[in-house]
Homo-oligomer: A and B are copies of this chain.
Amino acid sequence: MRAEIVGVGTELLLGQIANTNAQWMSERLAEIGVDVMHHQVVGDNLGRIVDAFRLALSRSDVVISTGGLGPTQDDITRDAIAEVLGVPLVRHPEIEEMLRARFRSFRREMPENNLLQADVPEGARYVLPERGTAPGLVCPAGDGRVLYAVAGVPSEMREMMLGTILPELHDRAGSAAIVSRVLRVTGLAESKVAELLGDLFVLTNPTVAYLASAGEVKVRLTAKAASTTGANALIDPVAREVEAILGAHVFTSSDEDLEQVVARALRGRGATLACAESLTGGGLAERLTAAEGASDYFRGSAVVYTADAKHDLLGVRRQTIDGPGVVSEECAREMAAGARRVFRSDVAVSLTGVAGPDPHDGKAPGEVWVALDAEGLATARHLHSPGDRATVVRWAEQAALDLVRRWAEGRLEA
């Protein structure tokens, strides 16, 4: 079954809000095996809404529109549906009564405008809302096609989706299921991942796709089958092959963030972590504390942005004219050792480098050292990150988290 989502509202075209409704709806529809093939967005203009609905019905079995069901003059989704289906709007006394009761319960007088919300295209069903005042509309459009219309307010849209539309479509779709599994990879460029997995790319069920962001590549396997179990059975062997090819670079196959994997691994080892950060400016600690319960494994971070602070808080040796400077392996190692000492943690990780855009201490933007210090083990890594300041910072964080993950998973050699 092919579905299409039509967002109605000039505020979307002006960029005043993002179309998060389409994202949420698409995710829910994928879960029940409905293929969303298109999103459209149009403004509050009758002709263009009519055209959008006609196009959608010409290529999709199910069209779901959001927005334009309010009580004001620019809410014209009802009119557009009536025009597309060639039927009149009929006012429903039951809806009128619901509206009047709703306003009485708010102790407000109902503006007469609101009665527009009692108009329903002839031949359509309506669903009375619990939130808001806009009934959802279920409009048969011939040849088994259906046009649903729900309000644009996210909570009202969700009520109609969860209460009516998803159950109806689930019944119609039968038990077909689309399952996506995401394997997340760090330490390899997207093009390298694509090259290594090239042979898998020709698969059609599951399909293989890549999505890159700074310091990470997502490999998405998507399978379609009669059931979730069947779809997972199609994915399993391919996921194992991906993991065999990419090895320890795969940090999760359950779509966790790297910091969540690190948290789990530290908890599993019963170990505490401290950080020493320069170019990331607290971003590493911020990611490690975003989830509740971080105090189980996280002691703290010394964000030391100056050479003085590195010396005063962490005991990093004073830099000399012909010394290695603060962007160096030596400095990173001393920062990590210092953080482990002052925070009295089991392991510490440090970052020093140049976020850019300007060089620092004679080093180019993107040059980063990361070091780890633990009982009987001290190591460092050197990286050159591409990109702008935010990208360099993200790469550096990923490298530091990955080093801690490998340590906590027992994958680092002394």
- A residues bordering B, Cβ < 8 Å? 7, 10-20, 22-30, 36-44, 48, 52, 55, 70-74, 102, 105-108, 110-114, 130-132, 153, 155, 180, 189-192, 194-195, 198, 201, 209-213, 220, 222, 275, 277, 280-286, 288-290, 292, 294-295, 298-306, 308-309, 312-313, 342-344, 355-358, 384, 386-391
Contacts and interface: CB of A to CB of B under 8 A. Distances in A.
Contact of A190 (B70, B112, B301): B70
A211 B18 CA distance: 14
Is chain A's interface secondary structure helix, strand, loop, or mixed overall? mixed
B26 A210 contact: no
Contact of A71 (B39, B194, B313): B194
Contact of A15 (B30, B52, B153): B30
Given A19-B18, A44-B209, A290 B281 contact: yes
A42 B59 CA distance: 13
B312 A132 contact: no
B191 A110 contact: yes
Contacts of A7: 39
Contact of A111 (B195, B282, B284, B384): B195
11 contacts: A18-B20, A37-B48, A38-B41, A105-B384, A155-B387, A275-B303, A281-B290, A282-B286, A285-B303, A302-B313, A312-B342
A201 B281 CA distance: 41
A237 B153 CA distance: 30
A244 to B, nearest CB: 20
A277 to B, nearest CB: 8
Given A113-B194, A132-B387, 7 more contacts: A18-B19, A19-B39, A73-B198, A74-B209, A106-B189, A299-B309, A300-B305
B74 A210 contact: yes
A405 B12 CA distance: 30
A342 B357 contact: no
A73 B194 contact: yes
A15 B26 contact: yes
Nearest to A194: B72
Given A28-B15, A72-B210, A211-B11, A191 B111 contact: yes
Given A292-B357, A388-B131, A113 B195 contact: yes
Contacts of A111: 189, 191-192, 194-195
A133 to B, nearest CB: 8
A36 B108 CA distance: 37
A27 B15 CA distance: 4
Contacts of A15: 22-30, 36
B37 A39 contact: no
A153 B299 contact: no
B40 A39 contact: yes
A105 B22 CA distance: 39
A239 B80 CA distance: 30
A136 B300 CA distance: 43
B306 A282 contact: no
Contacts of A131: 386-388, 391
A277 B29 CA distance: 39
